[in-house]
Amino acid sequence: MKTYTRYLKINTEKRIDFINITQKIQDIVDDSQIDDGLVLINPMHITASVFINDAESGLIRDFEEWLEKLAPKDFNYKHHQTGEDNGFSHLWRTIMGRESTIAITEGRLDFGPWEQIFYGEFDGMRDKRILVKVIGE
């Protein structure tokens, strides 16, 4: 059993953004030289998410609209009493999930049809890291 760890650095141009990181993750799997195993992708920030879905542009816009309905950006959250203004971003992360784990088969991400890996940034425009841990043989 081998492990391989890499950190992706990310700094979005917008506060809220959805970035397809599929190829970056496949590149890391390639570098790991692990043919059969798992890859864990963890955004390591409480206001970001890694999730898997379709790379259709309308769907990506739908995510933000849906999240806005569930936890509006302009609501007066109790969290804001601490001097923060990002209460919604913590809730969005909870809804979208923390991390993703993907099977690796013959050195490739083992996806179903249309699946892609996305980094969801809900309080960006600053340096953040994504942990990528590959485990297998």
The tally of domains found in the chain comes to: 1
Q: Quick one: pLDDT at residue 97?
A: 97
Domain containing residue 67: CATH number: 2.60.120.460
User: Residue 25 is inside which H or E element, if any?
Assistant: helix 22-32
Q: What share of the chain is helix, strand, coil (3-state, %, to 5)?
A: 30, 35, 35
Mean pLDDT of the chain: 98
In Å, the largest CA–CA distance within the chain is 51
**Secondary structure of 85-130 as H, E, C letters:** CCHHHHHHHHHHCCCEEEEEECCEECCCCCEEEEEEECCCCCCEEE
pLDDT at residue 111, rounded to an integer:
97
Cα-trace Rg, the chain? 16
Torsion of CA 56, 58, 60, 61, to 10 degrees: 170
Q: Is residue 124 part of a domain?
A: no
Q: What is the pTM of this model?
A: 0.96
pLDDT, one tens digit per residue, over 39-74 is 999 999 999 999 999 999 999 999 999 999 999 999
Residue 55: inside a domain: yes
pLDDT score for 15: 98
Q: Find out whether 41 and 131 touch, Cβ atoms under 8 Å.
A: yes
Determine, yes or no, domain membership for 132: no
Q: What are the tens digits of pLDDT across the range 67-105?
A: 999 999 999 999 999 999 999 999 999 999 999 999 999
Strand order in the sheet with 2-10: 2-10, 128-136, 36-42, 100-105, 108-109
**Is the residue at 125 inside a domain?**
no
Q: Which domain holds residue 82?
A: 2-104
CB 46 within 8 A of CB 93: yes
Q: Given pLDDT bands bounded at 50, 70 and 90, which one contains residue 18?
A: very high
